[in-house]
Structure 1
């Protein structure tokens, strides 16, 4: 079994894979953020668009073949629990672009609508070097 790209240490099939397949809905803002990171790592455009708030959702997600997500660190979270409707998750998403290491540091806003957590937008973002598409 392949380890999940989100860094949980769990197998992909029983971690973010159940969200990507639609078998389950991510129960918290952090779970959807982790599953979105894994979707970026696996180039799963359908899942990313499904979990993006309609007010900020792009028409499509462009994946750069020279861009490789390598590690996720969750730094902090506010709200975003089972009984809440909004939350933020601060993270560092480490990546390589054209062989160069870099980091996307973002505090993301999530909102729950109709029982599903959706990525809205960054509350604040700091990304040295070439900024990748939002996670």
Structure 2
């Protein structure tokens, strides 16, 4: 269940694309494009935005079945997401890809950096997050 206050679709997208939320990741979170990210990178960016916005249902729905947790916890109070840097998107074949990224946040007065190489698969035309290796 989403626990955040909905952001206006005109707000800047948290993924850092420079586009409005509704024209970028928000279109995959809800509406006609729901769950239809066209590439592994687009899914990764939309998942980052979902983490920022506490769109927990979207995160669970885009996790590969059999690997997804039963539940997710919302962001810790006071966590502020600072940005996303996508370093590499590597298509392995038509249905597998990796995305290397760095997500930065601040929490409890400390800078937090998540550097991960994530694996994605496409099943029945939809991309899913499989898992990631943190660096």
Is TM-score (shorter-chain normalized) higher than 0.5? yes
Determine the C-alpha separation between the residues in 2 that align with 1:31 and 1:120: 15
Counterpart residue number, 2:72: 61
- Equivalent residue for 2:89? 77
CA shift in 2, pair 1:79/1:50, >3 Å: same
Q: Which runs of 4+ in 1 moved over 3 A?
A: none
Does 2:38 correspond to 1:27? yes
**Structure 1: gaps spanning 5 or more residues:** 127-135
Contact 1:55 1:120 in 2 (8 A): no
> Where do 5+ consecutive residues of structure 2 fail to align?
1-9
Report the alpha carbon displacement of residue 70 of structure 1 after superposing the two structures with TM.
1.5
Count of equivalent residues: 123
Q: TM-score, normalised by structure 2?
A: 0.86
State the alpha-carbon separation in 2 of the partners of residues 119 and 22 from structure 1: 21
Distance, in Å, in 2 between the alignment partners of 1:65 and 1:120 is: 27
2:127 equivalent in structure 1? 117
C-alpha displacement at 1:22, in angstroms? Answer: 4.1
